[in-house]
Structure 1
């Protein structure tokens, strides 16, 4: 009897697997990436990155288990590009992850690339350019993986996808950021904030129905608070991880983070309700008088009724008290991983290098791209692939053994917050301080709060998991993951300005197994040929001696001891003042001194006269 039951179960599981296989399909998108003109805030026409001559970009939609194929042609003419499918683990397909000079070469104008991978995940994701910091120019959009077996699938009637983003009127390349004229590294302040790439949007709802709202911050810099007046909602997913349904009123959504929430409409059509987004003003060094930080869109019960503006009663956005994502419990109740095999202690800092500009560092290393994409170094290095040295000194590469449990302790020596994203994984969130809410900025202007392994709050039994977690200003977080996905994976701040400054590092995971498993399609190598980029060799492009890093790309040298950002600012203004002073003296001196009767000055002067002679 036991044998027959066991046999029945085996057949049932096999049948279910076969059913899923039969149901899976190939979803193909053909992208011609081109420039188009857009004006989403109604204030300024600008050039943006479009797809098939349209912007906003298409939302990619697939079902769990589908094969996703994206054929991308770069028709920009002037800029290289790529696609990162943010949050996709890319199990067995690390070469499809998308960051240039990490897992592929940049796709130059006129070249094409094909991304092809199986989507064995579920939930809310997005895709964006991962080459030369180009996604603020419009190359970003949602990616939705539908799952008809989710525990909440029968709990809602309809769904909406909502993206929020900051918006710049200037092209990224025209914004002076890493420059000696900006020694403090002040991030560029956006010109506007968008909701589904526009403003003043209504989401139509019917009384009594429940809606799944998929929320994604696809901006480059600024986190946003999200709430709906006179409504609560239930969180059911963060970054593709299902959670126990949890009631909340306000969310804090940093760039690159996603939530899925259930909202049940009221049983009335008398009024419409503001959907409120408020930019986190604490991130901005300055707030221009014409920058609107809070925006109203609407949960629309009655299109003919008034659409009221939101009533904001707090003085600053930081007075809002959002839900703390650390308290969420994954729906699968996965327990905390065992003690780590490898503990990495990292510290974020922002400093100036010898060009006078501001850069970002993890343990004093500012990520600098190699001459050969790191994945291709793995594939060409043989047994030396396990030696982190071959990946260069400034890719900040850490080699992991397969199935190691890794713990990252990330301390923030900077007064700003940093949403850190991990490619190829999500991680368990064990500890963070200070917490969300009114205490989040407690240490921004004081002494840093560093993690003490001997004195911390108890780790949760079922830690929340996500792929992007916010590091508080001068605070810390502790996360843990299993190195069970052979590949090359970036760990970086997703504020795109900070990534541009070098706030990133590389995990090279199970490189020898990766060599055995991965075959890069010829199309990807053709992209390298078109770009004139090597796809064999160490970080310096050396194919003869992988331990010879001569000629590798390096971060700039350090400033002489004693120079700080404030010191540089003082020096810059002192120099400007000095030059202006000398200019005025020169102009004034060259103009001569007129006598009271307007006669020309004497050509010979006695000693001590301040006017120049004709011979001088």
Structure 2
């Protein structure tokens, strides 16, 4: 006979399961058109012919099934449920060539998992920079047992994002180009709020709202505040916090908050919901870019809706809440000293093709030929703990089950980087200030402030310019998890690594047949090591490798000089040869035109060199 405690546990589990719902969605991902800012109609990625995308809302304990059909025509795709740990369901995580093969046009892929979490999340594509094309939506997990469950009357979800008027198919080639050797990211055209602008959110007086906030952008960090209102932070990235009053928040891309806001009793005025870009994320502030945007907390539709002009000299003066000071409501103490420490330096540099890449310890992430999860599943047991089989440029780290792992990030770059870990939340135990361009400062284990007693945990945290951060977590979730910068441009440049966590236990999980079928349709290998060698797992001949280094002595400016010098020389030789074969009188105008083009090329080089120097001097956070 079972003990009473076990019987009670079984009864509670049965009751929870009986109440849990299953949400099934059949989604066709297609191109549609939208114009959220009124500036330009452009193609966006919609679902079932609609954009904005559906808002997902489930209760903790529910099952979510998404049958995703790729109707994009000429692009592969995938879906990642951002912030979901996928404990026991690593195959549902979504990044291509990490946990799955790409979903080719005309194929269907099923995501099926139980949502055993709570809080504020979102979903988005995890391939080829698709989510800046609109492929992202909110994902809220309600929890009737939250400590603040009885403290609010109604619930709202607000998304904020940068917005580009051009599609990624236009922007990506220009960004990852020989003609952009400094790696300057495309500057967005605008800020949008709930996938629109000038939004009025109708609210009731003397009412408390639970508001889910998320930055679903590709580049821009955003300051958020509500004119003449304070609020209480109760959650970050799905982790409940001790209630903390604030007036201003800073959300880097992929971060989320939940706040409690109690409205005023008076209804004679509407108040601005203000979003302001952090200019430190942009290499150039383009003339067209509006750096802040007002929406309204609408008490009275007949009252004025006035735009708010921030009264700060610079965004450095905005007294935003420091999330490092938040304390998790569960007060889990600092994890013990790490069993494994991973130390990585973040750099940006050019490789032999002249393109600017991003690196962890001089490795820019290069996808293996076989998704790393499938390498785990197909490898003999004696090889799964050997990082070699996962590919040199996938930058794998193999973790032992239940080890305490510490990741030290030294940012040797004058830009801020928000890092996101799949499969886990982590304790943020060090978060340095920014440093000047000429003094990047690495973490010193022998000289640091005391670690917090109850460190804040979240799945996305930013590392300041030339600074450092230290994250600590417990390897309690077997899986292959990508760790990457969530600035989409930087992920495109390769700023990622993978954590192959407890692969010996991961092999106990299963891959649905449907997932392997998608590999067959796409022509992707799904058995073998990173080189798709299934006969000798230690033979990595033919694995995908990053582009070779530049020859010694080359710089980004040198690349530009070489390119434009070659173009100028070609034009000059063309003029001489063409002039010798053509009637002189009839050709004078054409010669002048060509020489003017050559002058324009030289001027373009001088301008590019000037801009590059300016970026080098001024690109600080």
TM-score, with length taken from structure 2:
0.91
Moved more, 12-21 or 39-48: 12-21
For residue 571 of structure 1, report the CA deviation from its aligned partner: 3.8
For residue 418 of structure 1, report the CA deviation from its aligned partner: 0.6
For residue 584 of structure 1, report the CA deviation from its aligned partner: 6.1
Question: Which whole-Å CA distance do the structure 2 matches of 1:482 and 1:566 have between them?
Answer: 44
Q: What is the aligned partner in structure 2 of residue 475 from structure 1?
A: 467
For residue 134 of structure 1, report the CA deviation from its aligned partner: 1.1
1:557 and 2:548 matched = yes
1:131 and 2:138 matched = no
For residue 579 of structure 1, report the CA deviation from its aligned partner: 4.9
| Structure-to-structure mapping, 1:143-542, within 5 angstroms | 143-175=139-171, 176-383=174-381, 384-434=383-433, 440=434, 443-515=435-507, 517-542=508-533
For residue 12 of structure 1, report the CA deviation from its aligned partner: 5.4
Question: Which whole-Å CA distance do the structure 1 matches of 2:91 and 2:5 have between them?
Answer: 37
Question: Which whole-Å CA distance do the structure 1 matches of 2:305 and 2:299 have between them?
Answer: 10
1:87 and 2:83 matched = yes
| Structure-to-structure mapping, 1:18-57, within 5 angstroms | 18-57=14-53
1:59 and 2:55 matched = yes
Question: Which whole-Å CA distance do the structure 2 matches of 1:10 and 1:105 have between them?
Answer: 41
For residue 566 of structure 1, report the CA deviation from its aligned partner: 3.3
Question: Which whole-Å CA distance do the structure 2 matches of 1:117 and 1:141 have between them?
Answer: 18
For residue 583 of structure 1, report the CA deviation from its aligned partner: 5.7
Question: Which whole-Å CA distance do the structure 1 matches of 2:453 and 2:580 have between them?
Answer: 78
Q: Deviations over 1:257-300 (max 9, x none)?
A: 00001111111001000000001111111122111110000111
Q: Deviations over 1:97-155 (max 9, x none)?
A: 00111000000010001100010000000000012221111110110000011001111
Secondary structure of 2:384 counterpart: helix
Question: Which whole-Å CA distance do the structure 2 matches of 1:95 and 1:25 have between them?
Answer: 22
TM-score, with length taken from structure 1:
0.92
Question: Which whole-Å CA distance do the structure 1 matches of 2:112 and 2:215 have between them?
Answer: 25
Moved more, 70-79 or 458-467: 70-79
Secondary structure of 2:25 counterpart: strand
1:543 and 2:534 matched = yes
For residue 582 of structure 1, report the CA deviation from its aligned partner: 5.5
Give 1 or 2: higher helix fraction: 2
Stretches of structure 1 that go unaligned for 5 or more consecutive residues are: 1-6, 435-439, 595-616
Question: Which whole-Å CA distance do the structure 2 matches of 1:138 and 1:73 have between them?
Answer: 17
Secondary structure of 1:194 counterpart: strand
The answer on whether the counterparts of 1:281 and 1:316 sit within 8 Å (CA) in structure 2 is no
Question: Which whole-Å CA distance do the structure 2 matches of 1:526 and 1:113 have between them?
Answer: 9
Question: Which whole-Å CA distance do the structure 2 matches of 1:453 and 1:59 have between them?
Answer: 44
Report the aligned-residue RMSD: 1.8
Question: Which whole-Å CA distance do the structure 1 matches of 2:473 and 2:439 have between them?
Answer: 29
For residue 253 of structure 1, report the CA deviation from its aligned partner: 0.3
Of 95, 111, 115, the residue aligned with 1:115 is 111
Question: Which whole-Å CA distance do the structure 2 matches of 1:278 and 1:578 have between them?
Answer: 46
Q: Deviations over 1:411-438 (max 9, x none)?
A: 001111110000000000001110xxxx
Moved more, 10-19 or 397-406: 10-19
The answer on whether the counterparts of 1:282 and 1:318 sit within 8 Å (CA) in structure 2 is no
Stretches of structure 2 that go unaligned for 5 or more consecutive residues are: 586-621
For residue 14 of structure 1, report the CA deviation from its aligned partner: 4.7
Secondary structure of 2:389 counterpart: helix
Question: Which whole-Å CA distance do the structure 2 matches of 1:231 and 1:26 have between them?
Answer: 38
Question: Which whole-Å CA distance do the structure 2 matches of 1:10 and 1:527 have between them?
Answer: 42
For residue 575 of structure 1, report the CA deviation from its aligned partner: 4.4
Go from structure 1 to structure 2 and tell me whether the alpha carbon gap of 1:550 and 1:314 turns closer, same or farther (over 3 Å shift). Answer: same
The answer on whether the counterparts of 1:184 and 1:569 sit within 8 Å (CA) in structure 2 is no
Secondary structure of 2:37 counterpart: coil
